[in-house]
């Protein structure tokens, strides 16, 4: 009887191991497939210039234009509905680094002749640090330099820049932790944000996302986070309250 019992235990354990191994293999395959597709898509069109049409026509000379520019966090940023007299155009592309975003500024922002450019970008640079830890300092320096370049180009268009700090990250899922995730990403975000806060100047207004999205303990508010990297609708709603205040305070001319 004992032999039968232990045989059953062994079979159950082997079954559990098989299920776990199958799940891990499926997750690995899914990530590999997504990565492979994404990598080859970038090779075909590194900057994603075909993602957007030519500039929309301004509906009225009395309407001012805001352009959201950046990565998926900018792409997901809905228009602020609390203020009138503004139109909102989105030019975010998911997965892009600051180098890619800078590379398409002339195609995706300049033709729009915006009055305001809202910048939210940088996380995709910093996500590469666990893959290339020896290049950490260079990755951070390039991220900051690319953002500074976009600020200069925006100001050359006579636009006001609303510079958002990089949104915080929350606890990663198991899949992300397995595939090149590290707590150093959050530390790098804090480091870049410190540099971004120093860039506030004439026609460069800082939107400090941490002051909105973090709780008293410095942790992301759960109700504001959709997943490890992305905000929930409530998170964007909270940001838009601040954005609306900034837009309302801008001079009319």
Average pLDDT value for residue range 67-81: 95
State how far the Cα of 138 lies from the Cα of 158, in Å rounded to an integer. Answer: 30
Does pLDDT of 66 surpass 90?
A: yes
Question: Which ranges of the chain would DSSP assign to H, the alpha helix?
Answer: 2-44, 72-75, 98-103, 105-108, 123-126, 136-156, 174-178, 184-197, 210-213, 233-249
Average pLDDT value for residue range 109-136: 97
Give kind and range of the element (H or E) at residue 119: strand 116-120
State how far the Cα of 29 lies from the Cα of 193, in Å rounded to an integer. Answer: 35
Distance (Å) of CA 72 to CA 26, 117, 139: 25, 16, 19
Q: How confident is the model at residue 89 (pLDDT cuts 50, 70, 90)?
A: very high
Does pLDDT of 224 surpass 70?
A: yes
pTM (2 decimals)? 0.82
Average pLDDT value for residue range 134-143: 98
Confidence (pLDDT) at 37: 47
Confidence (pLDDT) at 32: 47
State how far the Cα of 127 lies from the Cα of 85, in Å rounded to an integer. Answer: 37
Which of 140-149, 198-207, 243-252 is the least confident region? 243-252
Q: How confident is the model at residue 243 (pLDDT cuts 50, 70, 90)?
A: very high
Per-residue pLDDT tens for 21-60?
666 556 555 544 544 445 544 555 899 999 998 767 777 7
Per-residue pLDDT tens for 148-179?
999 999 999 999 999 999 999 998 766 666 66
Give kind and range of the element (H or E) at residue 86: strand 86-92
Confidence (pLDDT) at 176: 64
Q: How confident is the model at residue 197 (pLDDT cuts 50, 70, 90)?
A: very high
| DSSP-derived 3-state class of residue 233 | helix
State how far the Cα of 166 lies from the Cα of 190, in Å rounded to an integer. Answer: 8
**Letter string b/e over residues 142-169, b meaning 16 or more CB atoms within 10 A of that residue's CB:** bbbebbbebbebbbebebbbbbbbbbbb
Average pLDDT value for residue range 82-97: 93
State how far the Cα of 121 lies from the Cα of 182, in Å rounded to an integer. Answer: 19
Q: How confident is the model at residue 225 (pLDDT cuts 50, 70, 90)?
A: very high
The mean pLDDT of the chain is 88
The dihedral region occupied by 54, where left means phi > 0, alpha psi between -120 and 50, and beta the remainder, is beta
């Amino acid at each position: 009887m004992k032999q039968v019992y232990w045989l059953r235990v062994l079979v159950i354990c082997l079954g559990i191991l098989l299920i776990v191994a199958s799940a891990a293999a499926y997750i690995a395959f899914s990530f590999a497939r997504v990565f492979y597709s994404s990598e080859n898509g970038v090779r075909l069109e590194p900057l994603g210039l075909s993602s957007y049409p030519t500039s929309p026509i301004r509906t009225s000379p009395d309407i001012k234009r805001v352009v959201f520019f950046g990565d998926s966090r900018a792409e997901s940023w809905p228009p602020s509905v609390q203020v009138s007299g503004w139109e909102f155009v989105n030019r975010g592309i998911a997965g892009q680094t600051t180098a890619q975003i800078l590379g398409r500024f002339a195609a995706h922002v300049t033709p729009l002749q915006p009055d305001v450019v809202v910048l939210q970008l940088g996380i995709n640079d910093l996500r590469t640090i666990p893959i290339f830890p020896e290049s950490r300092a260079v990755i951070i320096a390039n991220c900051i330099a690319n953002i500074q370049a976009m600020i200069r180009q925006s100001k050359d268009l006579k636009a006001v820049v609303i510079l958002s700090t990089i949104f915080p990250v929350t606890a990663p899922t198991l899949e992300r932790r397995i595939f090149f995730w590290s707590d150093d990403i959050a530390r790098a975000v804090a480091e870049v944000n410190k540099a971004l806060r120093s860039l506030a100047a004439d026609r460069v207004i800082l939107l400090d996302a941490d002051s909105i999205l973090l709780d008293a303990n410095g942790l992301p508010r759960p109700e504001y986070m959709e997943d490890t990297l992305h905000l929930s609708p409530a998170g964007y709603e909270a940001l838009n309250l601040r954005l609306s205040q900034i837009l309302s305070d801008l001079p009319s001319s």
